[in-house]
């Protein structure tokens, strides 16, 4: 069944938390009725407390659940029963079933909501127009983004700890569809390796469309952005950079900021840029050659091994004085022959494996600002980036 009827249900201690949170949110609305609170509260409540209540009514008696449904309608500014009917229709469609909504409960919730909006019009029309209505519409927009990106490429889960802590395990969305009536505390137990997942929570999943390579190309077109990006990254590198003779830079072709910075900070080191896109490496050659003061030289590269004895240098390897260029996909299996390895934010691979089993003596990993690993510093709050250092 997609959900239980809004009648009797078995009370559990886990139901106490969402009930308490709903009361706390109601008190906040009464004491600090601001636009952000209305907008974020509507989105948060719809996807946590109200969502849990749809599938597992919190109370043992029908009358208590009916009363709580009306209370949630006040918090949402919209009939909880309407949200319930719409959401269960979504589950029934996924399961190929049909169902009926509770018309009496819907009528009661509509009366409650009409009373709320009428009271605001009569008592404080300025608050309604300038605060509540804009917040309500923004909250609906956030709910639309949430629902859309939870299913934009099939049902998708997100396993970030902070998000699931704040959203009562809402990120376990594949698991929720498999067991709609499961308590929110039970969902992590049902996670499988085959789950379709995203590193982004649903509300931010649109960022997957904003390709990092596209942003890099935007930086290439703007000298001001280049100066800002180089300055912020250099400050972070200066604080963490270990001594290294041989440095591997993964994916450093499109805008070789790391190579530009490390050439200045480690002038005696050999820098090896590894990128599976030959066009990106061509861009890197041009940008790095502008800074060279001596003649360009070509030569053979020492064997480049990613911990795989069968790996051989490819024919597209070149070097530009103290730089080497490798047109190959980097796979962090075993140890590679670097003193230092630098991994970009756009790395398409197992970042967790790099953190747990560093493939070089020292590894500097560009990551999102909220992912603290090893020793780290913030690159830029504006860029939402940090630099983490892990060692073998």
Stretch 40-56: mean pLDDT:
94
Q: Which CATH number fits domain 214-391: 3.40.50.970, 3.50.50.60, 3.40.50.1970, 3.40.50.150?
A: 3.40.50.150
Stretch 94-122: mean pLDDT:
81
pLDDT tens, position by position, 329-353: 787 766 678 889 999 887 877 788 8
Strand partners, 390: 363
pLDDT higher for 221 or 360?
360
Domain map (residue ranges) of the chain: 13-208, 214-391
pLDDT score, position 317: 37
pLDDT score, position 13: 60
Most confident region among 173-177, 202-206, 220-224 by mean pLDDT: 173-177
pLDDT higher for 239 or 349?
239
pLDDT score, position 4: 47
Nearest in space to 369 (alpha carbons), one of 384, 388, 355: 384
| pLDDT tier for residue 137 given thresholds of 50, 70 and 90 | very high
Mode of pairing for the β-strands spanning 318-320 and 246-250:
unpaired
pLDDT higher for 127 or 275?
127
- Please state whether the predicted TM-score (pTM) of the whole model is above 0.85: no
| pLDDT tier for residue 95 given thresholds of 50, 70 and 90 | low
Q: How is residue 98 written in tokens?
A: 């049909």
In this predicted structure, which of 86-100, 325-339, 373-387 has the lowest mean pLDDT?
Answer: 86-100
pLDDT greater than 50 at residue 318: no
pLDDT greater than 80 at residue 12: no
Residues with Cβ < 8 Å from 287, sequence gap 6 or more? 255, 256, 260
Stretch 108-132: mean pLDDT:
95
Mean pLDDT of the chain: 81
Q: How many CA atoms lie within 13 A of 272 on its CB side?
A: 25
pLDDT tens, position by position, 152-187: 878 889 998 999 999 999 999 999 999 988 889 999
Gap between the terminal Cα atoms of the chain: 50
Count the neighbouring beta carbons within 10 Å of the beta carbon of residue 7. 14
């Amino acid at each position: 069944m997609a959900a239980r009827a809004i009648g009797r249900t078995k009370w559990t201690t886990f139901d106490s938390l969402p009930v308490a949170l709903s009361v706390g949110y109601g008190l906040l609305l009464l004491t600090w009725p601001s636009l952000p609170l209305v907008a974020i509260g509507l989105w948060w409540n719809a996807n946590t407390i109200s969502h849990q209540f749809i599938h597992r009514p919190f109370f043992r008696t029908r009358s208590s659940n009916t009363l709580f449904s009306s209370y949630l309608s006040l918090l949402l500014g919209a009939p909880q029963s309407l949200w319930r009917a719409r959401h269960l229709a979504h589950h029934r469609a996924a399961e190929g079933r049909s169902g009926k909504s509770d018309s009496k409960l819907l009528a009661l919730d509509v009366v409650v909501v009409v009373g709320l909006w009428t009271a605001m019009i009569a008592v404080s029309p300025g608050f309604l127009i300038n605060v509540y209505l804009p917040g309500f519409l923004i909250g609906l927009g956030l709910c639309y983004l949430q629902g859309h990106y939870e299913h934009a490429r099939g049902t998708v889960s997100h396993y970030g700890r902070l998000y699931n802590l704040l959203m009562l395990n809402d990120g376990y969305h594949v698991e929720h569809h498999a067991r709609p009536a499961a308590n929110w505390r039970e969902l992590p137990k049902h996670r499988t390796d085959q789950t379709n997942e995203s590193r982004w929570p649903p509300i931010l999943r649109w960022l997957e469309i904003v390709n990092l390579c596209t942003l890099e190309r935007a930086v290439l077109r703007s000298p001001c952005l280049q100066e800002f990006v180089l300055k912020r990254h250099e400050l972070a590198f200066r604080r963490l950079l270990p001594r290294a003779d041989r440095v591997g830079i993964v994916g450093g072709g499109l805008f070789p900021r790391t190579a530009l910075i490390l050439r200045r900070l480690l002038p005696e080191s050999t820098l090896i840029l590894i990128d599976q896109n030959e066009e990106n490496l061509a861009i890197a050659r041009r940008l790095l050659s502008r800074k060279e003061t001596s003649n360009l030289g070509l030569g053979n590269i020492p064997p480049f091994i990613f911990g795989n004895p069968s790996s051989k240098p490819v024919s597209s390897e070149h070097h530009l004085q103290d730089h080497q260029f490798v047109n190959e996909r980097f796979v962090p299996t075993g140890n590679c022959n670097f003193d230092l390895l630098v991994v970009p934010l756009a790395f398409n691979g197992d970042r967790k494996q790099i953190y747990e089993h560093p493939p070089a003596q020292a590894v500097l990993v560009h990551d999102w600002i909220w992912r603290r690993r090893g020793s780290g510093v913030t690159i830029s709050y504006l860029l939402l980036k940090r630099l983490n250092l892990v060692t073998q």
